Chains A and B, each alone.
Chain A
Amino acid sequence: MASAFEYAPAPESRAIVDIAPSYGLFIDGEFTEAADGKVFKTVSPASEEVLSEIAQAGEADVDRAVQAARRAFEKWSALPGAERAKYLFRIARIIQERSRELAVLETLDNGKPIKETRDADLPLVAAHFFYYAGWADKLDHAGFGANPRPLGVAGQVIPWNFPLLMLAWKIAPALATGNTVVLKPAETTPLSALFFADVCRQAGLPKGVVNILPGYGDTGAALVAHPDVNKVAFTGSTAVGKQIAKTVAGTRKKLTLELGGKGANIVFDDAPIDQAVEGIVNGIFFNQGQVCCAGSRLLVQESIQDELLDSLKRRLSTLRLGDPLDKNTDIGAINSEEQLTRITSLVERGESEGAERWSPACELPTSGYWFAPTLFTNVTQAHTIARDEIFGPVLSVLTFRTPDEAVAKANNTQYGLSAGIWTEKGSRILAVANKLRAGVVWSNTFNKFDPTSPFGGYKESGFGREGGRHGLEAYLDV
């Protein structure tokens, strides 16, 4: 929808970040080439510009990094908790100091709007390190008995949707509890993890405590399977999560999995419509919908369907899609060509199965990977778009008549990560929240995160919790 007043571009300067033409693996406190010399390129999804060339870790590199982490473990785990805490506090502070630089970097490498990296990702990254720093010398009081011990070397594999935030979720509790880590960032977003290596250098973190191994799925598989890894933490797809669960079967490796979702956002007829619309938009279009806990299934009470959809469409027409570095941008680029293809094919499937597709008038840039915010009506529970995780800016709208029906439909999924409830009635919130089989339930809000709050799924959304006191358990011998 063309509006009377267009916004002038308000681009954030990229001069603040200095991206080197190439990066190595970060092993034992040093940047190093891959043993077999392999490299890959990381591009900016908004422009397809090559940002840098990155060393690609192979099996030999995984082994070297695990050995470095093993050597470092002895001293790191023996440090008094208060000393480990100080390192983590240092890291938190340095992240705050370099927050703008890291936000621009993340936006360049991931394609998400600067508004989100600046106001959501980076503050949360720092907050996670602050939060877990404080736990390092208080583990006796965490409710896991006296003197809980670290597990050893943690092999961590993270996705591309929140590269630095997922790194923080993994590394902060691991280090606080006295483990050392080998982390594999996603192949499309390796840069912020490599910058984090530099943060570790500035913080004076002992060598080998944190090791970063960029690479593809095979690198992650080698890390997960390495016999000297004691703990595996993975965030990503359910399919890969199941594969990892099979790999660690019969070993003593402790495993936590944060996997897919198909969150139901339930709007009752007495909901505050304007707030609900904002919540729906935030629930599915935040980070281009590339969020495991996205509210990708909208369940609307039948009596307000028309009113709500009108409001929602009006609101979607005001979303601005474009340059992620522009501070006015709401919707950035899809992370990769591969992901764009996946979204496109699922959306075509939705159309072919008879759901009705709608998008606001929306001009897509000519280079880069883009997908307009999309809404499907006439969706039934049997439709692929109501069952499979799309991981993109695509919302499926279903309706219900009674609270029981809403609960039944919300729970009718293999996943169980998130859900939303919109109603003025407090007792209904509590009753419905009780019945939803999901690890996070947002009432009259959506997509809120905080380091003090456990996050994780039921059913095939994985197991274990990240964040809060609960998040410590994954890294302790309890």
Chain B
Amino acid sequence: MSDRLSVFKTYKLYVGGKFPRSESGRVYEVTDSKDNWLANAPLSSRKDARDAVVAARKAFGGWSGATAYNRGQVLYRVAEMLEGRRGQFVREVADAEGLSKSRAAAVVEATIDRWVWYAGWTDKIAQVVGGANPVAGPYFNLSSPEPTGVVAVLAPQDSSFLGLVSVLAPVIATGNTAVVVASERSPLPALSLGEVLATSDVPGGVVNVLSGRTSEIATPLAAHQDVNAIDLAGADDVLAKELEIAAADNLKRVLRPQPVDDWSATPGIDRMTAFLETKTVWHPTGSLGASGSAY
């Protein structure tokens, strides 16, 4: 029985809800921790990055305008799909990170749980970080968080799945859309996540997954005038500084690389608030005059 030749998968990018190859036609060899060939992943170009931004921008209105309840449902649906593909991700994470099956299984479980955790945040974050302000005057005044827009996410290099989800989920839970650059050495779990997102209810373009050289893809993203924010988790110090300088050109919100000892530790809300704006809306109150209204 073991004579059967297995069917390999052609890994593709996930952009605008579709699975294109890199427009450049390039691929690069992805190996496991023992240098065995796993697959040829797309080697994304600057053009792929720009296409992904266009897709993310197009999706932003619908996704940010959806009700928080709806976004929570959609994110939870992703967790359901992930659970169904548990076995596949355990294999991919074990290969990608050189983990035993049981360690990899623990990582995948933590990742699914992380996704569920963020799914539950969509309709709570506004209550936690927003609220009424007691201004000294006859005004009704409310601060509420709103998504920043299109966020470029450089996924962590070492944690190909748990790290990836830990930086991606908070971005979309809050209503942003994302262009994710997968771990350069271990992009396969990220590319497979794209397949999961496509078969759950996440609208096309909300998450776009690119694989390739982080520095090559990140540079145009950091300089892109229609990207509103960037998470530099997957950049080393030298690249991070370069990208931060480029990002200043349109005052992108920048989340600098943070030292993370253990991605499995419960995250706080920082990764969500990093990509939220606060909008404060004022309106006069006051007693009703004869006209029935008081400005």
- Please pick, from A245, A440, A441, A452, the residue contacting B248 in the complex, using a CB distance under 8 A: A245
Docked-complex contact A453 and B135, CB < 8 angstroms: yes
Binding stretch for chain A, among B17-25, B71-79, B194-202, B238-246 = B238-246
Q: Which residues of chain B from 86 to 141 have a CB within 8 Å of any chain A CB?
A: 128-129, 133-137, 139, 141
How large, as a class, is the contact surface on chain B?
35 or more
Is A127 at the interface (CB under 8 A from chain B)? yes
Q: Which residues of chain B from 230 to 255 have a CB within 8 Å of any chain A CB?
A: 237, 240-241, 244-245, 247-251, 253
Cα–Cα distance between A436 and B143 once the two chains are bound (Å):
14
Contact with B along A404-445 (1 / 0, CB 8 A): 000000000010000000001000010001001011111111
Which residues of chain B come closer than 8 Å to A448, judged between CB atoms?
Answer: 135, 137, 139, 282
Interface centre among B133, B139, B278 (most CB of A within 10 A): B278
Given A245-B248, A459-B251, do A438 and B133 touch, yes or no (CB 8 Å)? Answer: no
Is A300 at the interface (CB under 8 A from chain B)? no
Which residues of chain B come closer than 8 Å to A438, judged between CB atoms?
Answer: 279
Docked-complex contact A460 and B250, CB < 8 angstroms: yes
- With CB as the reference atom, state the residue of chain B lying closest to A430: B281
- Please pick, from A127, A245, A424, A444, the residue contacting B251 in the complex, using a CB distance under 8 A: A245
Docked-complex contact B295 and A439, CB < 8 angstroms: no
Is B4 at the interface (CB under 8 A from chain A)? no
Docked-complex contact A242 and B249, CB < 8 angstroms: yes
Which residues of chain B come closer than 8 Å to A275, judged between CB atoms?
Answer: 295
Which residues of chain A come closer than 8 Å to B129, judged between CB atoms?
Answer: 143, 470
Cα–Cα distance between A275 and B293 once the two chains are bound (Å):
12
Which residues of chain B come closer than 8 Å to A196, judged between CB atoms?
Answer: none
Is A259 at the interface (CB under 8 A from chain B)? yes
Cα–Cα distance between A127 and B143 once the two chains are bound (Å):
19
Which residues of chain A come closer than 8 Å to B128, judged between CB atoms?
Answer: 143
Binding stretch for chain B, among A59-67, A308-316, A461-469 = A461-469
Contact with B along A256-276 (1 / 0, CB 8 A): 010100000000000010010
Contact with A along B211-245 (1 / 0, CB 8 A): 00000000000000000100000000100110011
Cα–Cα distance between A373 and B104 once the two chains are bound (Å):
69
How large, as a class, is the contact surface on chain A?
35 or more
Is A16 at the interface (CB under 8 A from chain B)? no
Docked-complex contact A459 and B228, CB < 8 angstroms: yes
Given A143-B128, A429-B283, A440-B280, do A246 and B251 touch, yes or no (CB 8 Å)? Answer: no
Q: Beyond the given A249-B245, A257-B251, A463-B251, please list 4 additional residue pairs across the A-B interface where CB-CB is below 8 A.
A: A127-B136, A275-B295, A448-B139, A450-B135
Contact with A along B61-86 (1 / 0, CB 8 A): 00000000000000000000000000
- With CB as the reference atom, state the residue of chain A lying closest to B238: A250
24 contacts between A and B (CB under 8 A): A143-B128, A245-B251, A249-B241, A249-B247, A250-B237, A250-B240, A250-B241, A272-B293, A438-B279, A439-B277, A440-B282, A441-B282, A443-B282, A445-B139, A445-B282, A448-B282, A452-B135, A452-B141, A453-B133, A453-B280, A453-B282, A454-B280, A456-B278, A478-B270
Docked-complex contact B136 and A450, CB < 8 angstroms: yes
Contact with A along B269-287 (1 / 0, CB 8 A): 0100000011111111000
Q: Interface of A with B (CB < 8 Å)?
A: 127, 143, 145, 238, 241-243, 245-246, 249-250, 252, 257, 259, 272, 275, 414, 424, 429, 433, 436, 438-445, 448, 450, 452-456, 458-460, 462-463, 465, 468, 470, 478
- Please pick, from B143, B249, B256, the residue contacting A454 in the complex, using a CB distance under 8 A: B143
Which residues of chain B come closer than 8 Å to A436, judged between CB atoms?
Answer: 279
Cα–Cα distance between A238 and B250 once the two chains are bound (Å):
9
- With CB as the reference atom, state the residue of chain B lying closest to A470: B278
Given A245-B251, A450-B135, A452-B134, do A445 and B240 touch, yes or no (CB 8 Å)? Answer: no
Cα–Cα distance between A231 and B133 once the two chains are bound (Å):
26
Docked-complex contact B283 and A455, CB < 8 angstroms: no
Docked-complex contact A145 and B133, CB < 8 angstroms: no
Docked-complex contact B228 and A441, CB < 8 angstroms: no
Cα–Cα distance between A250 and B257 once the two chains are bound (Å):
10
Which residues of chain A come closer than 8 Å to B268, judged between CB atoms?
Answer: 145
Which residues of chain B come closer than 8 Å to A441, judged between CB atoms?
Answer: 279-282
- With CB as the reference atom, state the residue of chain B lying closest to A453: B133
The list of the 4 closest CB pairs from A to B, nearest first, reads A250-B241, A245-B248, A249-B244, A450-B135
Cα–Cα distance between A252 and B136 once the two chains are bound (Å):
36
